[in-house]
């Protein structure tokens, strides 16, 4: 993306505040939930795998998708020098509305159930985390910031970027991405 494109995207970006439940969960996830910081990688790979499976299922009845012949895959890229980790899949991708819904609200009603479960001091929450849809946020245990860029499988949808530093707000802006799927960039 050129400097002019980045400036334009910044001008078009919207800032959102996480919902109340999300702020509480981020604090729990970042500071006390997981024993192993590496769990974020498992969670992100699981999300990418789910996106591939959902697209595979969609394509059983619908060939009107962006790049239907593209191989379903997950790619990892590590840049030790810049401390960047990138996980990219060629799955479902997300629209602007979906990225706000999926990353701006942790599993909707599941967030409240999860917060209730955290009150049980004997519960091993690492065993039930996937049930509540909060695994993505484990990335903030290791990240300075996270950028999720996504393009939906739906041909008429544009790419979108979601950016957060693990505090109480996030930004959503237009993005440049020609291929279908989702790219998660993590500044470690």
* CA–CA dist 63, 24 (Å, integer): 41
* CA–CA dist 162, 95 (Å, integer): 11
- Which residue segments constitute the domains of the chain, with CATH numbers given? 3-187 (3.30.565.10)
Helix (H, G, I), strand (E, B) or coil at 55: helix
Digit-coded pLDDT (tens) for 66-122: 999 999 999 999 999 999 999 999 999 999 999 988 887 654 444 455 556 656 666
pTM score, two decimals? Answer: 0.77
* Whether the Cβ atoms of residue 165 and residue 132 lie closer than 8 Å to each other: no
Q: pLDDT tier at 140 (50, 70, 90 boundaries)? A: confident
* Whether the Cβ atoms of residue 91 and residue 72 lie closer than 8 Å to each other: yes
């Amino acid at each position: 993306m050129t400097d002019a494109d980045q400036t334009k995207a910044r001008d078009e970006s919207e800032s959102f505040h996480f919902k109340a439940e999300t702020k509480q969960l981020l604090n729990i996830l970042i500071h006390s939930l997981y024993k192993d910081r590496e769990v974020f990688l498992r969670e992100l790979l699981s999300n990418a795998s789910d996106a591939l499976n959902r697209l595979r299922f969609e394509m059983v009845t619908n060939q009107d998708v962006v790049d239907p012949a593209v191989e379903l895959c997950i790619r990892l890229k590590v840049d030790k020098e810049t401390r960047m980790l990138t996980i990219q899949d060629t799955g479902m991708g997300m629209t602007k509305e979906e990225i706000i819904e999926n990353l701006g609200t942790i599993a909707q009603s599941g967030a409240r159930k999860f917060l209730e479960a955290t009150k049980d001091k004997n519960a091993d929450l690492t065993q039930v985390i996937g049930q509540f849809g909060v695994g993505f946020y484990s990335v903030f245990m290791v990240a300075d910031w996270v950028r999720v860029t996504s393009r939906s499988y739906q041909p008429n949808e544009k790419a979108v970027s979601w950016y957060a530093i693990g505090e109480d707000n996030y930004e959503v802006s237009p993005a440049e991405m020609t291929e279908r799927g989702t790219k998660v960039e993590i500044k470690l």
